[in-house]
Amino acid sequence: MFISSHPTMRALWYCFALALLAACVRAEDVDYLSFATEDETNTTEIFRKASPAVVFVTNSTLRRNFFSLDIMEIPRGSGTGFVWDKNGLVVTNFHVISGAQKLTVTLQDRSEHAAQVIGVAPEKDLAVLRIEDPPDNLATLPLGDSSELTVGRKVLAIGNPFGLDTTLTTGIVSALGREIQAPGNRRIRGVIQTDAAINPGNSGGPLLNSLGQLVGVNAAIYSPSGASAGIGFAIPVNTVRDVVPQLISYGRVLRPMIGVELASDRWVKRYRIEGLPVVQAYPGLPAAEAGISGAFRNARGEVVLGDIITHIDDKPIRSQDDYFSALEARDPGDTIKVTTRISDQTRSYEIELIESQ
């Protein structure tokens, strides 16, 4: 076909060709012109499916007005959670609901529901709530396997940073096997580090993989300014799998025990003791049956230390966190090797763990 070489005619021809092309495109074909990448499509689809299961948790306390004596509801803070099952159970961080006198869960449709705490694990920074009169057809999240994560894998975080509901951020797994401080000075081990932006208010929200599966619960950030600095931490879903059913059934985590009361970490540091002194070995429980003795007062009223636990299964014990972590790695019925020091003697005991009472 002949096209004039005159610039004006050529421009008119191109305009005519574009108009003809546009007329031939049907409305249902418009999506193909958006040029969304495969990764963008994956992100959009995950958010569409997962966001209905993400909730806004508001923590309030009650205060009496000094002048009128009326009871007022004062917000203490807010965070994120996600629906665990269709019966209205919600998982969030312990620090999100700590100290609350009233809890409100807001669903994606902006409906608000009162909630009650049914179980907490401060040492894991996890809590389970129950929505009162939950609506039908609550959305839930499929569970993944955090042991399959590798550094560099894509992850997505959904939460309510700074009160801005249902916010999506994306990133990668930056590192694995980190440790963070939990309420109560316990250490949470095996934590996921991610550069997906996590800010105040994201706590308790889900961390998802590229399949839309839950792989972690966003818990903390490292930031001098208090805002995201590209270093966020999430409790791995395999820990959540172990803890949540216990919180639902018992309201707390059941850990193996040997039946001793231990000196506080502050006392141990104050007197520079290497190990963890046994204050009391409870009669009839495994430690006392094995021969471990606690502290006592002599005839002059002085405190005399009994056994000081220095190792469990040859791992050094220097704090209560070391002690509880060593026990939590085992199951009731397992036999552990407890090494102690008493006076100048080293002793070794074989003790069978029992379930906590």
pLDDT tens digits for the chain (357 residues)? 444 555 666 666 665 665 655 555 454 444 544 567 899 999 999 999 999 999 999 987 665 555 554 555 555 678 999 999 999 999 999 999 998 889 999 999 999 999 999 999 999 999 999 999 899 989 999 999 999 999 999 999 999 887 677 899 999 999 999 999 888 778 898 999 999 988 888 899 999 999 999 999 999 776 666 656 678 999 999 999 999 999 999 999 988 999 999 999 999 999 999 999 999 999 999 999 999 999 999 888 888 999 999 999 999 999 999 999 999 889 999 999 999 999 889 999 999 999 886
Query: 256-355, what's its fold?
Result: Pdz3 Domain (2.30.42)
Kindly report the number of other CB atoms within 10 A of residue 273's CB atom.
16
* Residue 81 three-state SS: strand
Residue 43: Cβ-neighbour burial (10 angstroms; 0-12, 13-18, 19+): middle
CATH level 2 (architecture), domain 146-250: Beta Barrel (2.40)
Instruction: Compute how many other C-beta atoms are within 10 angstroms of the C-beta atom of residue 49.
Output: 14
Place of tokens 């992850």: 155
Q: Checking phi first, is residue 177 left (phi over 0); if not, alpha (psi -120 to 50) or beta?
A: left
Q: What are the structure tokens assigned to 281, written together?
A: 């070995």
Distance between CA atoms of residues 210 and 241, nearest Å = 20
| pTM of structure | 0.77
Task: Please give the DSSP secondary-structure letter assigned to residue 340.
Answer: E
Residue positions counted in the chain: 357
Quick one: which of 139, 142, 194 has its CA closest to 171? Answer: 194
CB burial class (10 A; 0-12, 13-18, 19+) of residue 223? middle
Q: Which pLDDT score is estimated for 1?
A: 47
Give the residue numbers annotated as catalytic, written as ranges: 95, 125, 203
Which H/E stretch holds residue 323? helix 320-328
Contacts by 165-171, CB closer than 8 A, 24 or more apart: 165/56, 165/106, 166/51, 166/54, 166/108, 167/202, 168/43, 168/47, 168/51, 169/196, 169/197, 169/198, 170/43, 170/196, 171/195, 171/196, 171/197, 171/230
CATH 2.40.10.10 fits 50-131, yes or no: yes
